[in-house]
Amino acid sequence: MALWRGSAYAGFLALAVGCVFLLEPQLPGSALRSLWSSLQLGPAPAPPGAGSPEGRLAAAWDALIVRPARRWRRVAVGVNACVDVVLSGVKLLRALGLSPGNGKDHSELRSRNDLEEAFVHFMGKGAAAERFFSDKETFHDIAQIASEFPEAQHYVGGNAALIGQKFAANSDLKVVTSISDIPAGVPVHLELASMTNKELMSSIVHQSFSASGSFPRSHFFTSGGQSIGASASILTQVFPAVTSLGLNEQELLFLSQSASGPHSSLSSWNGVPDVGVVSDILFWILKEHGKSESRASDLSRIHFHTLAYHILATVDGHWANQLAAVAAGARVAGTQACATETIDMRRVSLKAPHEFMTSRLEAGSRVVLNPSEPVVEWHREGVSFHFTPVLVCKDPVRTVGLGDAISAEGLFYSEVHPHS
């Protein structure tokens, strides 16, 4: 199916499949200040210069990041917007009369104590988390206290809105409420968010990629911040029309666990996600559920992002300029988190593994990271991988919506082949 007709007309649908304590579309979103501020990045080294690993890596990115030959000209963005309320998580707990105690994960939050336990649990892992809050009155109280907190900051939120902001300055932007508003044959990007319902995720993977079914385009609508359960009938029809996918380490592992994919026996990541394990899961998604001649799926690209590194995996023959795209996504992670226009070497640190294996299931290659050549490329049975480390902001200013900014930047520098 041709994904390019005439001018570079592209449609992206950013769909949030989970929200931080979001119960009703009309309510402002309530978000904890990023947990990244709790990460212990070790003793502060001497300010790095141009010859430092961080300096060489940033310079190499600047040389590698080039605009694609065929640029996006018209972009359609699905309706998904809210207000992100950003404040210190510890201060919010104090305002709620809570004291940090023992951490515990909850697939669904029903009380203030559930919030406190989940916060402590994920803070201890240095990981961000999103959980659905099912008790309406308690959620209202927490949202109001957070929004009225003196130090609270309010930002535009929602995957579609944030990705739309990136493209608005460079493309003819159109807001759509249904995929039926997008002409058939244009690329669609899906940005995942946190999910805890394994049955739902399994249905997304197994039912959506049925080669015998056709996709009812007139029946697709964006979730607009609905609860996970209310979105189930929508999401089971999403993946057949998805060309590109964006997700983080929590969403990737949960997807594999839900669909009995590779490394699904892992209960959680232990520190920085193992590159070989991530690569195996990405390969499985594209090889088993991605675009092929025998399968009615358009999925041909996955942008994986975690704190220390990013990987772009693509089915061969459908995308170009991915070396620049993965580098651009990693660069914006450092600048946006530190609220700087360019990489400030004094405020970032290289936390990616110095060496890694490209697979844990097969005879992968051993890679030693070279900051002067920061994008590593490898291939596996018709799937190409582009890896690059991230320069992690030591004292982040704003990380809400960072994953959306990363995916948007990667898409902006990507080029889809006209025959795809």
Q: Which residues are known catalytic residues?
A: 404
Number of other residues whose CB lies within 10 A of the CB of residue 176: 17
Which H or E run contains 304?
Answer: strand 301-305
What phi and psi, each to the nearest 5 degrees, are found at residue 215? -95, 120
**Whole-angstrom distance, CA of residue 117 vs CA of residue 123:** 10
How far apart CA 185 and CA 69 sit, in angstroms, is 20
Buried b (16+ CB within 10 A) or exposed e, 146-173: bbebeebeebebbbbbbbbbbbeeebee
Nearest alpha-carbon partner for 337 in 271, 387, 411, 394: 394
Question: Phi first, then psi: what are they for 295, rounded to 5°?
Answer: -135, 135
What span, in angstroms and rounded, lies between the C-alpha atoms of 250 and 194? 7
Query: 269 CB contacts (<8 Å, ≥6 apart)?
Result: 125, 127, 249, 250, 253
CA distance 111 to 74: 44
User: How far apart are alpha carbons 215 and 239 in whole angstroms?
Assistant: 9
Q: Furthest-apart CA pair in the chain: how many Å?
A: 60
The DSSP H or E segment spanning 332 is helix 322-338
Tell which phi-psi region holds residue 384, choosing left (phi > 0), alpha (psi between -120 and 50) or beta. Answer: beta
